[in-house]
Amino acid sequence: MKTSKIMLMPLLICFTISLSAFWSPAGGEGFEIFLDNKLVMQKFNRDMKQSSTFSLKSTNAKSKLSVQFYHCGMAGKERVLMLKDAQMKLLKQWTFRNTEAKNFSISIPIAELQQLQQKTGTAKAYLYYASKETGGARLLTGITF
């Protein structure tokens, strides 16, 4: 009887390890980008390492771009969105107030992005997010104009 319990232990360990391949870690980070409340991009955890680009070529100047960045299900503190050119030069920075509620959304008027594009003449820019929780700027997406 004692021998069967000893044999059962390695099988139980292998089974537990096998199941852990299907579990996702709790929490994590992610973001969603909306253009006039329409989802244009969504990335979480490992997917955030893959860069993506979307176009604002046919976007109305009255539109707004909204970003929702998640830190383990919480809204960040000291949130900042930055727009940089291909040479990593800061074109514009937006800061957002802290919120106690689960208000993840921070928004930028498309008109501001279009004005920056006209002023700088850049065809592509990069949107970054930073907060107290990220410990540095995170590349969200490339934007073509």
Closest CA to 143 of 128, 37, 105, 61: 128
Task: Give me the CATH number covering residue 119.
Answer: 2.60.40.1930
Residue 117 forms part of a structural domain: yes
Residue 11 forms part of a structural domain: no
Q: What is the residue-wise DSSP string for 91-108?
A: EEEEE----SS---EEEE
Residue 92 forms part of a structural domain: yes
Residue 19 forms part of a structural domain: no
What percentage of the chain exceeds 70 in pLDDT? 81
CB 97 within 8 A of CB 107: no
pTM, entire model: 0.78
The pLDDT tens digits for 109-138 are: 999 999 999 999 989 999 999 999 998 999
**How many helices and strands, by DSSP H and E, does the chain display?**
2, 9
The pLDDT tens digits for 7-40 are: 677 666 656 566 555 554 456 889 999 999 999 9
**43 beta partners:** 31
Counting the structural domains of the chain, the total is: 1
**Computed from CA positions of residues 46, 48, 49, 52, in that sequence, does the dihedral angle turn out positive or negative?**
positive
Q: What domain range is 65 assigned to?
A: 26-144
Instruction: Quote helix, strand, coil % in the chain, to nearest 5.
Output: 25, 40, 35
